[in-house]
Amino acid sequence: MLKISVKTSVSSTAQSLSTHPGMLSGPGALCALILLKDLLTLSGVKKHSLYYIYTALSKPVDLPGVYQFTAMGLLDDTQIDYYNSEEQKKIPKQTWMKEKLYEDYWEKGTQSRKSKEQWFYKNIDILMKRMRHSESDLHVFQMRTGCEVDYDGEDFLSFDDKESQWVAPVAAALPTKRKWDNMPILNQYTKGYLEKECVDWLKKFTKYEENETRNGYPPECHMFAKRSIRDKSIVKLSCMVTAFYPKDTALFIRKSRTSLPEDETESTGIRPNHDGTFQIKKSVEIKEDEKAEYGCFVTHRTLSYPIIIKWDGKCQDCSPEIDVVMIAAVIGAVLVLLLTVAGVALYILKKKGIIDTNSSDSEHDSYLDIY
């Protein structure tokens, strides 16, 4: 069943800025109205996704890098284009996007996003009134539309492709359902976009990207240990794998050549890097004096053989002897500096005749205090 889901939620606590430019949540924020996904089940086809995320604020925010309206395209969770209300220009964020798509594509995309920007400003007011949100608070209206393989979503509003009508599982969505059901052109466009246009662009972008990175990029693996903040007798041992493409990879922390169960390790999950590659880190806590052999085990399609790294037993900040040496070195350096400054000061005072070489320490101290 083909669905578009529209999700809205309200945050009652302050939220921090997202890693994506212009993404913001705040007190009483209308966090998201999200148009989601083409639901396709294609047996044996690798999962890919194409989303466009639009974010509008109810009023300007005087913060660097935060705009009243932003839009971006994401292919497999990697940003491929970007637009904001200040520059008002759709720009490529990947080299292959710039090379494969002509100037006409970017000009039309810019005009389209300018129109969407005005649409968002108008409709955020409608939603605020419907949900009785205060105009004094900052609200965020966010829409995500796109398609992907093997996804299911159902929140605020969904589109039934078979019946060509909207389904409202919550009362707040009923006014929108009634209005959109009475707009057959909108329903036809929605169905056509999800079934054909979005999927066509997804296939095209995926092909461009795969041609650019056909051989992929092999992962780089690093293993390191740091003392736990909570318990000084515990060491946090981490395997960091980065700079790989595509994102499908397997990383295990091994103890005595046996992979640790997933529930015994902490994982960041696979995350995108700024250059289109990916990274993942897994960690495990062990006793500092544990003698077992630990290592990282990594597999990726670009590798002929797995990467196997053994921990050398070193820890960046674990040894108490290191702390003692560092403290002693710092104290020694400070003493040398103080003695040097004192010597220079005495020399200057003697040269100027301010102090006499025959003066006692008590006279010298008293004179300097008055001076």
Residue 100, in any domain of the structure: yes
Stretch 251-272: mean pLDDT: 94
* Model confidence band, residue 333 (pLDDT cutoffs 50, 70, 90): low
The residue that leads in pLDDT, 265 or 344, is 265
Residue 152 has pLDDT above 50, yes or no: no
Residue 52, in any domain of the structure: yes
The residue that leads in pLDDT, 187 or 367, is 187
Percent of the chain surpassing pLDDT 90: 33
Residues 191 and 207 placed together within one structural domain of the fold: yes
Number of residues that this document lists for the chain: 371
Residues 164 and 301 placed together within one structural domain of the fold: no
User: At residue 68, what is the residue type?
Assistant: Q
Q: What is the CATH number of the domain that holds 275?
A: 2.60.40.10
CA distance 29 to 141: 9
What tokens were used for 115? 């129109």
- State the total domains in the chain: 2
Residue 360, in any domain of the structure: no
CA distance 89 to 81: 10
CA distance 40 to 320: 57
Residues 28 and 82 placed together within one structural domain of the fold: yes
The residue that leads in pLDDT, 66 or 154, is 66
129-143, 247-261, 320-334: range with lowest mean pLDDT: 320-334
Closest CA to 120 of 182, 191, 33, 18: 33
Condensed to tens digits (0 to 9), the pLDDT of residues 72-117 reads 999 988 899 999 999 999 999 988 899 899 999 999 999 999 999 9
Residues 146 and 280 placed together within one structural domain of the fold: no
Residues 126 and 179 placed together within one structural domain of the fold: yes
CA distance 173 to 178: 9
Residue 261, in any domain of the structure: yes
What tokens were used for 47? 């999962």
The residue that leads in pLDDT, 107 or 355, is 107
Task: Report the mean per-residue pLDDT for the chain.
Answer: 74
List the alpha helices (DSSP H) in 164-297.
Answer: 174-181, 184-192, 198-212
Per-range mean pLDDT, top range of 7-16, 304-313, 326-335: 304-313
Closest CA to 311 of 206, 238, 360, 370: 238
> pLDDT value at position 30?
33
* Model confidence band, residue 285 (pLDDT cutoffs 50, 70, 90): very high
At 92 the three-state DSSP class reads strand
Residues 146 and 227 placed together within one structural domain of the fold: no
Residues 202 and 274 placed together within one structural domain of the fold: no
Q: What is the CATH number of the domain that holds 86?
A: 3.30.500.10
Residue 327, in any domain of the structure: no
Question: Domain range for residue 122?
Answer: 5-212
Residues 11 and 62 placed together within one structural domain of the fold: yes
CA distance 206 to 76: 9
Residues 130 and 21 placed together within one structural domain of the fold: yes
Residue 349, in any domain of the structure: no
CA distance 77 to 241: 18
CA 13 to chain centre: 20
What tokens were used for 212? 């650019």
Residue 367 has pLDDT above 90, yes or no: no
Contact 168, 176 (CB under 8 A): yes
Q: Could you tell me which residues come within 8 angstroms of residue 234 by beta carbon, excluding any fewer than 6 positions away?
A: 227, 228, 285, 286, 287, 288
